[in-house]
Structure 1
């Protein structure tokens, strides 16, 4: 299964799929970005390797109306969260194996370990409110 591109017609469906403790891996990109275009096949391959997780491709310029104002410094920017716990938010090298390593570093942790991680620094605590994709999709 390939990643799902966020569009107005599937926003509600994606929000419903993000219920409970579903792992979400989102790539925030822009249509004009050649790096993102080249990254997409690897991101889709990673999605196929993890069918139990939700992989979402978001054009931050075309879909700002759906997600609000996510601050992106460069591309690709990844967001990894489980439920409402944002585990990672930031620019990465355009190599899908990095996303795989980030995901697998967290997916084996217990709920208590994940919660402790999200509160372990000021930056991580900020992510919980300002970079929570599920909340953004339900508010916009």
Structure 2
């Protein structure tokens, strides 16, 4: 499976996919960003390496109503979530091997440990409150 690109006409489909029991890997980018354009192929490669996970590409300007309040400081920014737990939110080096290691590590972490980590720092607690894609899709 390849990644899905969030569009105005597929929000219901994306919301349904986010509700499934899969690790969500979202890339938050912008169409004008050259780094994002070149990272797109790497993100597709990651999606093919991890077909059991849900990969979502979100243009933060096209979907500012959904992600406009997220603090995206640089590109590409990854948001990785399992169920209601945001496991990672931040800028990623545009190297698919770095992202692959992060995704694999999070995938191998059990739910209880992810939940513990989610509350372990103020930054991670903020992720839970502000970066939950499932909640943002239904807001």
TM-score by length of 2: 0.95
Give 1:20 deviation, angstroms.
Answer: 4.7
Give 1:2 deviation, angstroms.
Answer: 1.8
Aligned to 1:50: 50
Q: Is the 8 A contact 1:4 1:56 kept in 2?
A: yes
Q: How far, CA to CA, are the matches of 1:54 and 1:64 in structure 2?
A: 21
Residue aligned with 1:88, SS:
strand
Aligned to 2:114: 114
Give 1:23 deviation, angstroms.
Answer: 0.6
Q: Is the 8 A contact 1:67 1:137 kept in 2?
A: no
Residue aligned with 1:9, SS:
coil
1:21 aligns with 2:21: yes
The alignment yields a C-alpha RMSD, in angstroms, of 1.1
TM-score by length of 1: 0.94
1:6 aligns with 2:6: yes
Deviation readout 1:77-132 (Å, 9 max, x if unpaired)? 01000011000000111112111111111111221111111111111011001111
Aligned to 2:32: 32
Q: 91-100 or 78-87, which moves further after superposition? A: 91-100
Runs (5+) with no aligned partner, structure 1? none
Aligned to 1:69: 69
Q: Is the 8 A contact 1:68 1:136 kept in 2?
A: no
